[in-house]
Structure 1
Amino acid sequence: MEDGSRSTGQDVDGLAEQVVASARATLGDPAEWVDPAGYPEGLALCIIDSIQSIGVKYGGVIAVLNRYRALRRQHGSDPAADGTPELLTTFADLGSAQSWAESVGNANKTSTHADAPLKALAIEQAAQALSALGILTCQDLRDAGADRLQRAKQAWLRVPGQGSGTSWRYLLMLSGAPGVKPDRMILRFVAAAVDRPERTMSTDLAVKIVIEAAKKLGVTPTRLDHAIWRWQSGRDR
């Protein structure tokens, strides 16, 4: 069944068992898996990382994060504690998303379309969207009730290039909220484990499978997600 929205609980359970078997065979002892470090006090860094990291090698993301940290330290601030107000201040100080991309970010765009906006603009708009809902810090995000969190998600999905929801899920993970980031590494691992072509694996189905597999393994979905990511990226080989 290729459409995750029509998969039954039984289907997900069986597919999760296959992921469990693959995880045990390739990812090592679950007791030794770790959560992603994230930025539990730095919503600005969470936003930058979650948007900059989609569809690119992570080394470029680290470079952007380091330039942001350097900029903030030049102003005597602690980038690890920055929320949306501080992030938006950097855009205001530099004058535009284009200037922010040139000084802090890079030329990466939100999609492969020639006229796609810069990821820097998406970062600015995402920070504005969260701020408008009173979500200024990671603690605000973690404490948001279901209604406000849903409104924040919908606002985030309207930001250019963020409609798939992958960066939203990653944002939650980086901020300390549990979740699964169904990026290409997760999709690739799950598809291989259940013996399906990767193109037929929907993100919704992959999330359901990873969450169920995590239950069977006795770990959080975030920890299984991170173990898969480390394996797929070659960090645990």
Structure 2
Amino acid sequence: MAYTAAQLGDLIAACAQFRGSQAPSGYRDALALCVIDSVQSTGVSYASVENVVARYRSYRRERGGDPNKDGVAELLATFDELGGVNGWAQKVGNNNRTSTSSGVLKSEAIRDAARVLDEAGIGTAADLRKAAQNEVQLAHIRMGWCAVTGQRSGITWHYMQMLAGIPGVKPDRMICRFVADSLGLPRRGVRPEFSLEILTAAATNMGMSPTDLDHAVWQYQRGRK
């Protein structure tokens, strides 16, 4: 559903408290970490994501690598070194799945998402930022990413780009709840697409980066009971 001018005004008023907020810088030089963090992040506490990222960094450093500059090739190589998705999950990742019902190990989704980028010629975060300037190319990559098991909603796609330095909004449950509550709408009726569009518009009207506003809203929601 499309948002109204009145709804946009109400959301801007609710977001006034976040003026001046800034999001962490993400992983502008490490596309590998962008992929890992984004896929691991859904449906879990962020502490578990930080643990996976820390183990990946440790694993790469033990082998003389620089995880803060790793691209897709380096990420995919770790799967080969560890014998595939199960070995990667045990050494670096965890047993979290993309869905509690019919999902796969998130390590599998990470590998498959990395393959999508690799096949599209996106090896580094800089490559992705360049691709973001071409809507047709980016739409093609998104189609492949969202075809990976558990990534259909596009939430991790948006988040991965944000971590790579492309401004945006990750319309997950935290963001959708804030939008719904701010507008007096039923939470179940607010979809990610609506939240993405209206929060992006609010950020533009406020003169903020969508990424900064997204992070401020997410942290606010995280702290609520």
Report the Cα distance in structure 2 between the residues aligned to 1:140 and 1:47, rounded to whole angstroms: 14
Correspondence list, 1:1-237, <5 A: 4=1, 7=2, 11-24=3-16, 27-28=17-18, 30-31=19-20, 33-113=21-101, 115-144=102-131, 145-234=134-223
Which deviations, in whole Å up to 9, do the C-alpha atoms of 1:29-87 show, x marking residues without a partner?
x12x1023210000000000000001110000000000000000001111010000000
Which deviations, in whole Å up to 9, do the C-alpha atoms of 1:143-165 show, x marking residues without a partner?
01222211110000000000000
TM-score, normalisation: structure 1: 0.91
The answer to whether the 8 Å contact 1:170/1:180 transfers is yes
Report the Cα distance in structure 2 between the residues aligned to 1:47 and 1:56, rounded to whole angstroms: 16
The answer to whether the 8 Å contact 1:13/1:209 transfers is no
Let me know the Cα RMSD of the aligned residues.
1.4
Report the Cα distance in structure 2 between the residues aligned to 1:209 and 1:112, rounded to whole angstroms: 30
**Partner SS, residue 110 of structure 1:** coil
Sequence identity percentage: 45
Q: Which amino acid aligns with 1:141?
A: L
Report the Cα distance in structure 2 between the residues aligned to 1:55 and 1:19, rounded to whole angstroms: 25
Consecutive unaligned residues in structure 2, runs of 5 or more: none
Deviates more, 1:130-139 or 1:221-230: 221-230
Q: How many residues align?
A: 223
Could you tell me how far 1:234 is from its partner in structure 2?
A: 2.2
Could you tell me how far 1:12 is from its partner in structure 2?
A: 3.3
Report the Cα distance in structure 2 between the residues aligned to 1:51 and 1:14, rounded to whole angstroms: 35
Could you tell me how far 1:127 is from its partner in structure 2?
A: 0.4
The answer to whether the 8 Å contact 1:187/1:201 transfers is yes
Q: Which amino acid aligns with 1:177?
A: I
The answer to whether the 8 Å contact 1:13/1:212 transfers is no
Report the Cα distance in structure 2 between the residues aligned to 1:66 and 1:56, rounded to whole angstroms: 16
TM-score, normalisation: structure 2: 0.96
Decide whether aligned partners of structure 1 residues 84 and 62 sit closer, same or farther in structure 2, where only a CA change above 3 A counts: same
Which deviations, in whole Å up to 9, do the C-alpha atoms of 1:116-172 show, x marking residues without a partner?
210000000000110001000000000012222111100000000000000000011
Could you tell me how far 1:13 is from its partner in structure 2?
A: 2.5
Report the Cα distance in structure 1 between the residues aligned to 2:48 and 2:175, rounded to whole angstroms: 20
